[in-house]
Structure 1
């Protein structure tokens, strides 16, 4: 997964304890001093990097300081989006929205000021008090998504930031951490989260995953890990995402739901819930993907099924057409209810 050979370092990050710890993990890596983690011309914005997409993700690491700390309201996967302790990813999912923002490459950027971030989160959660009423996010806890722009299971291979967050939320009686993942990191089974961290295993049919989920854990491995994570004290939900409409898509999702029904034990099924997210794609990411993975675009870029909408950054997002998408959502959620009864859908869009 990782063979870190070059670390781009903000000097302020290298002075912090977590920064020194991360540098110590990769003693043979070349160090390149940078002014800011988000302004590295040879990584971001250079179209020549398309040809080195996966290599950069494998070999490069960025070490910086998170300067703006805020918890943004969400309301879907969580109540709040926590300030990130990392962004970017070593995996290379063809539909990932992060490359749209960062340019032609998005290796892991890890933030060394973890103490500031955890302190902010503890104070923010304390100000919320007790959740006044249940909602679709959680019946009792304020839920904070700690992995909006990265995969926490992979981030944990680089630093102890994710473990520090799990430890933090274990001690917050009114709050809970949450993150979606496509990677099975079994080292996390020893962290004793005491049901204060929700892991959302991202799933899709194996045929789609093989084409689109580059460098991730196989779907069968993710499913096999669910019981183990529940036993280890995590709350485990399903992130059915992205749902890609193509010939035979419902049949393949039905097989996936049957696999879940045959695999999951009573404890996992008793606490199970799912979020369902249909594909949103982007014209700029489409152009990038044509340079390194054009086969993926045969199912991701479907003008015959999709409608455009101008994005806030000036590009075009595409999603399945109004009217048709409603039928797709109803068909998939109905199939889930039939094949995996008891798994409630927290939201679907």
Structure 2
């Protein structure tokens, strides 16, 4: 199994660079952070043949050593209704971590290293305009008062904050929006976020799973114990903190290991966090394309993720064919999961589960 802690998360040696990115102050700041990195001009941050031609067996190297710097062109706000009301235009895509079940599109190549967009001012301005056009927020499971914007659909903003100040700027933006808050899920612990002064206007969803499972599946992420320990600190720093139990991967003994996680979490959380805690529960979704990629670099993970005996094909909203737990069984397993959570953490409201 790959060792998530054997090398630094980022050791940027090559930067694939759209020329337009260097025209922005943020682009120049990022380049100055990595002065020794080789700069390779590209026409598009999506079309980088060298990343597509990489050896699948070297899956982790590009994630550690490669950064793509580009400019965000489309400023689309997509309705969501699950983690957020809207998916905001991203300030990045791709990830330095390597979760074996990750659904993020690998259009840059199988490893999909981090791309950071330099035109943060345009992204922030578009978000402010969008929020300003909205009327009062009807209460829903996302939030009873504020329109919530998912800021990190295709990456992890705690990691992005190691690369640039884009995340700091987003947190500052939502301090100024009276009817909206930002939201992102994370599996990384970045102490720098504690100094961003969110004033309750940014929600962090800490993704958790049993530690033994995470060691096999959550490659290059922060250990689960570190993520749990960070929750009270983030809350004290002014974030709204929720938890994301994702994905729920079924294997022999899954109930006992999740119950142990709930007990650990309950013991670690102060009353102030428990009083505002809510959770998302997401059962595993897999697909054959990701299965093929994983077999080349981490086949042990597929023994848990690829379970045709428990799974069935289902079309996603995007038209792709995925594997999900069989519908009749999934409902019963999800019900059992919710019962376990209620038994150990009765104060934890489930915002949504699927």
TM bucket, shorter chain: over 0.9
Which residue is equivalent to 2:278?
A: 273
Which residue is equivalent to 2:211?
A: 206
Matched, 1:43 2:48: no
Distance 1:303 1:229 in 2: 39
Secondary structure of 1:260's match?
helix
Q: 1:17 aligns with which of 13, 19, 25?
A: 25
The structure-2 alpha-carbon separation of the partners of 1:16 and 1:281, relative to structure 1 and needing over 3 Å to count, comes to same
Q: 1:127 aligns with which of 122, 126, 133?
A: 133
Q: Offset of 1:96 from its aligned partner?
A: 0.5
The structure-2 alpha-carbon separation of the partners of 1:287 and 1:221, relative to structure 1 and needing over 3 Å to count, comes to same
Kept after mapping to 1: 8 A contact 2:106/2:112: no
Distance 1:310 1:267 in 2: 41
Secondary structure of 1:347's match?
strand
Say how many residue pairs are matched: 346
Q: 1:71 aligns with which of 52, 66, 77?
A: 77
Q: Offset of 1:311 from its aligned partner?
A: 5.3
The structure-2 alpha-carbon separation of the partners of 1:100 and 1:39, relative to structure 1 and needing over 3 Å to count, comes to closer
Which residue is equivalent to 1:154?
A: 159
Which residue is equivalent to 1:243?
A: 248
Q: Offset of 1:316 from its aligned partner?
A: 3.1
Q: Any idea what the Cα deviations from partners look like across 1:21-69, whole Å, max 9, x if unmatched?
A: 000000000000000000001113x3x4312111110000000011101
Which residue is equivalent to 2:91?
A: 85
The structure-2 alpha-carbon separation of the partners of 1:303 and 1:100, relative to structure 1 and needing over 3 Å to count, comes to farther
Runs of 4+ in 1 over 2 A off after TM superposition: 99-103, 309-316
Which residue is equivalent to 1:138?
A: 143
Matched, 1:175 2:180: yes
Q: 1:225 aligns with which of 222, 227, 230?
A: 230
Q: TM-score, normalised by structure 1?
A: 0.97
Secondary structure of 2:55's match?
helix
Q: Offset of 1:86 from its aligned partner?
A: 0.2
Secondary structure of 1:98's match?
coil
Unaligned runs of 5+ in 1: none
The structure-2 alpha-carbon separation of the partners of 1:237 and 1:314, relative to structure 1 and needing over 3 Å to count, comes to closer
Q: 1:320 aligns with which of 298, 306, 325?
A: 325
Secondary structure of 2:295's match?
helix
Q: Offset of 1:98 from its aligned partner?
A: 1.6
Q: Any idea what the Cα deviations from partners look like across 1:251-279, whole Å, max 9, x if unmatched?
A: 10000000011110011101100000000
Kept after mapping to 2: 8 A contact 1:141/1:175: yes
Matched, 1:96 2:102: yes
